[in-house]
Structure 1
């Protein structure tokens, strides 16, 4: 009986990682949070921090913190979680990664009985978390000496070092993970270790410095799960650092052969997407990984509104990857985008006006064209464009047939008021009212800045309108008024 229960547990955990039949079965729960129970062996006047990233580089990275004043008691906390991800628990100079998904119940024990405090795991995904912690220790050991010395090693010695660490990580995987789960993590590990070798091939000093100037370089971080790619696939844990590293490597290769300085922002973006898609086919020996990476590039292009480019390159990709697994994800996103295509009715949504705090809706502007400016105080590019919003709004201020609707996506009314006191912004300034998630989904908001142009009948003219800094926008605004 015990063996049968153990077998069922292993199978369920395997399905948690692998998924079933194209649907996300990452957790058999309905709760959109993970429950973490923390206990420590001693009372301490310090706190344990739970972070989105490995290091505290700003308050926005801290999910929560708990005091150890009553360390012998169990402290329970909820962490919002709608998809599998990795967060970090840190106490002083000890940091561990924690794999969570919705509904998980994770036990975390902070032990002070050893020379150095250490964390141990129980409950959901305990074997995975023990493995991730052990792997982190192996990777961190690389930076115990001088990183400069590591990167200046001759190629043969560097590859030997890489091979040694790869074997040690493989041993850890076999120790902590069951066979099926072990297989799922294999590509994740290969990606991290391959990152080291790719750096060696980069000849650009500023790029090399980017990965060596920190005490612990970026590539050693345990990354978040890839966005858009569902978890139920073989490469669900393919390191985001590895993808970012490859992307930057490609950027430098493209800049070396193309005169990008003479291009506009959109022309440069299109060039890079086009070149990266070509390179991703040749850079990977494994076609499945090549398709995975190509899908990410296509989705990024779609997020920025390059619809024609997306359609053209998707057709080419389907010829190259005839047994496609991930391209369907890009297709589904494209179909979702069709709901806000040119000529479709703009989905209505509720807002709160800054000065009056009155609730208003998009429908209340019917009869006037509406230029929507989605911005965030944390987005440098969108803030840079606010000056151009003022310039254009002033140009059209005598014409009341167009509304400049500035939506602060941060949804912080006090923050909006404080900002505008010292940085006047012409137009109607609002925050979203109600569930912002519906608005983001309905309008396909995946990146900022983002601009949307709607006509006086409430129909979408352009779901990805030009930036205010573009001279093309003025003509489109005039056209929206005249028609």
Structure 2
């Protein structure tokens, strides 16, 4: 009888173990003071998510599934909270959106790590200060300050009672941050002082940069400093690889392919490069073919193929997508079809009143219009401001005496069909269309790229 009870107990235990599934999610929750918006942003390595904020309770709670253990940033208004998350450990916090000096309060298994990250940010501000001040120091002062910062972080990590596995990774992360600042000292110092001839001494520890292994899978996923270092080192090699006439973006893909052997690191670098630049490359077909040849990640390849197939519709020689019935500053409405057939090229500027870079191009665009006045090219500017910003658009045209044809979409670039057809992600964007409405280039040089733009117009016999 006793044996039967024991056997029954074992069976019950085994059954309960079989039914219990491993936890593959975490609940991220918290209270936020002095915050009135509806969304909080969470971002990390290949991760972005908007979390709903409940204004009545000043709280949020979200279940995050299959999240990779690592460093994340929670953005609340302009405040960034650095945190460590893992898929098994819930985390609760309290934060003040306005009072940045008031530390966030963490509750959860990773509390010690997150408190450490808060203190680490303070060390950075207290010891290093702003990047401008740091990189303007002379060499000895800079190295002394960097040594002091690294020692402070090493001591902080040691005294924070961090889990052993995290502590080992964080020691390497601290080293990568230190090396990246070493690498950036000479170029940033040159830029701040306007002295391109400045060179660090023979005693400067430049060898630390050369010793970085760019194929560390674990460090790549764990350390932002490492990822940035790898990218910057590969960009340097790509610049060395390309000739004067060779396209940098193609050279960068080739450099990744030749230099990076770790599959995860290689595919991620290729994918991030393609996502960012394929919209603006000069040699779309060649760029796409090389990407597809070098990448082995099928999901990434599907994503880039989808973008490529849409970009092909705005390749050189294709009929341009159309815009219709846009408000014309001089009265009435204008469509692209109204402008085709008059024997003139169309240099189209997509801009917005909130875009600082766009407005910096205005004086150069005006000068360009004056130079080509009366020739076989016309200048068209399309504002992608919201309807409610129409008066602001009109005011800028009047105050800055903008020339050319000024059109108003009344929609953002995300909603405007013409900019969606061209897959425009950033402003300003310039498009050149021939007299028959065919695309010369969907990524025309900006007015600030004077020589490059004028060389193109000369080849087209614009005069």
Q: TM-score range, shorter-chain basis?
A: 0.5 to 0.7
What CA distance in whole angstroms lies between the structure 2 residues aligned with 1:447 and 1:307? 19
CA separation of 1:334/1:6 partners in 2, compared to 1, >3 Å: closer, same or farther?
Answer: same
What CA distance in whole angstroms lies between the structure 2 residues aligned with 1:167 and 1:334? 51
User: Which residue pairs with 2:197 in the alignment?
Assistant: none
SS of match in other structure, 1:326:
helix
1:87-166 alignment runs, 5 A limit: 87-89=74-76, 96-97=81-82, 109-110=94-95, 117-119=102-104, 133-134=114-115, 136-140=117-121, 142-143=123-124, 146-147=127-128, 152=144, 165=157
1:372 to partner: Cα distance? 0.8
Q: Is the 8 A contact 1:348 1:363 kept in 2?
A: yes
1:450 to partner: Cα distance? 2.2
What CA distance in whole angstroms lies between the structure 2 residues aligned with 1:432 and 1:326? 33
SS of match in other structure, 2:414:
helix
- Greater C-alpha Rg: 2
Corresponding position: 1:11 with 2:3:
no
Aligned with residue 336 of structure 1, among 310, 331, 334: 310
SS of match in other structure, 1:202:
helix
Q: Is the 8 A contact 1:291 1:327 kept in 2?
A: no
SS of match in other structure, 2:346:
strand
User: Which residue pairs with 1:181 in the alignment?
Assistant: none
User: Which residue pairs with 1:374 in the alignment?
Assistant: 350
What CA distance in whole angstroms lies between the structure 1 residues aligned with 2:220 and 2:93? 25
Unaligned regions of 5+ residues in structure 1, if any?
15-34, 41-45, 55-62, 78-83, 101-105, 176-185, 212-233
Q: Is the 8 A contact 1:37 1:76 kept in 2?
A: yes
Give the number of equivalent residue pairs. Answer: 374
Q: Is the 8 A contact 2:380 2:405 kept in 1?
A: yes
CA separation of 1:379/1:193 partners in 2, compared to 1, >3 Å: closer, same or farther?
Answer: farther
1:393 to partner: Cα distance? 2.9
What CA distance in whole angstroms lies between the structure 2 residues aligned with 1:240 and 1:357? 52
Cα deviation, 1:15-37, whole Å, max 9, x if unaligned, reads xxxxxxxxxxxxxxxxxxxx998
Aligned with residue 199 of structure 1, among 168, 180, 187: 180
Aligned with residue 163 of structure 2, among 157, 171, 181: 171
Corresponding position: 1:406 with 2:406:
no
Aligned with residue 408 of structure 2, among 431, 436, 455: 431
Corresponding position: 1:273 with 2:249:
yes
CA separation of 1:348/1:236 partners in 2, compared to 1, >3 Å: closer, same or farther?
Answer: farther
1:336 to partner: Cα distance? 1.9
What CA distance in whole angstroms lies between the structure 2 residues aligned with 1:132 and 1:430? 53
1:442 to partner: Cα distance? 1.5
- Provide the TM-score with structure 1 as the length reference: 0.56
Q: Is the 8 A contact 1:351 1:430 kept in 2?
A: no
What CA distance in whole angstroms lies between the structure 1 residues aligned with 2:219 and 2:152? 26
Aligned with residue 393 of structure 2, among 379, 392, 416: 416
Corresponding position: 1:294 with 2:270:
yes
Unaligned regions of 5+ residues in structure 2, if any?
1-14, 44-49, 61-66, 86-90, 129-133, 135-140, 193-217
RMSD value over aligned CA atoms? 5.7
SS of match in other structure, 1:471:
helix
CA separation of 1:476/1:52 partners in 2, compared to 1, >3 Å: closer, same or farther?
Answer: farther
User: Which residue pairs with 2:454 in the alignment?
Assistant: 471
Q: Is the 8 A contact 1:350 1:432 kept in 2?
A: no
Cα deviation, 1:370-397, whole Å, max 9, x if unaligned, reads 3211234565654444334334433554
